[in-house]
Structure formats: structure tokens, C-alpha cells
Amino acid sequence: MFVDDSLVTFDVVDGHAVLSLAVDVPAELDADGWSALVKQTLIVADGPGDAGYLVKRLDTNGTDRAPDGWDAAVERRNALTLVFGARRDGPSRELPLVTP
């Protein structure tokens, strides 16, 4: 599912790269098989079955929406934290990175 920019927040919290999506929590949240592909222009959060989210990194001016240090945090942990809902403390899942 493509996620509208207005529903996406990038943060670095305690050294962790956090991607928050103000969307409903998927039924597959606790299932195995989640992963993330992080590129300069987009992020794919892929879940089991049909669960998955496509997020643009660049705004309409071509500026990266991820804050300074976000990519370094992803690389350090080889993962990102995906948070669901409008609150920072919403249900979350750590997504290991995959490489194409």
C-alpha cells in the first residue's frame, strides 16, 4: 500500500531510525516475515502475505524528509523501527534490512 506523505514521519529516537505510519495496525504485525528496503528515494516496508507499505522519502521539492542521522541509524542497526498509528508509542515492529 502506498502511504500518503501526510501520514508518514521520520525520526531518530535513542539512536534508532523510526518510520511512523499513521495507518491502521495490520493484522500481520506479530507474524514473521517483515523486512525493509531503504533507498534514497523510497522505503519499502514489506510484511508477510499482502502486508506492505511504500513510502516516498522525497518531498515535492525533492528534499529528503528523513532527518540528519537517520540513514546512519539504519546502517548501525541494519534495521529500522516501524511504528503504526498516530502516536510515537504505538504498536511497532523492528524490520531488518534486505538488499536487492
Domain positions in the chain are 5-96
- 26-46, pLDDT tens digit by residue? 999 999 999 999 999 999 999
Residue 87's pLDDT band (cuts 50, 70, 90) = confident
Summary mean pLDDT of the chain = 94
Provide the pLDDT for residue 99: 78
- 5-24, pLDDT tens digit by residue? 999 999 999 999 999 999 99
Read off the amino acid at residue 91: P
**Element holding 36 (H helix, E strand):** strand 35-38
**Element holding 74 (H helix, E strand):** helix 70-77
Lowest-pLDDT range, 20-24, 30-34, 74-78, 87-91?
87-91
Task: Judge whether 65 and 8 are in contact, CB under 8 Å.
Answer: yes
Task: Judge whether 19 and 26 are in contact, CB under 8 Å.
Answer: no
User: Does 100 have pLDDT greater than 80?
Assistant: no
Residue percentage of the chain with pLDDT more than 90: 92
Q: How far apart are CA 63 and CA 53, in angstroms?
A: 21
DSSP 14: T
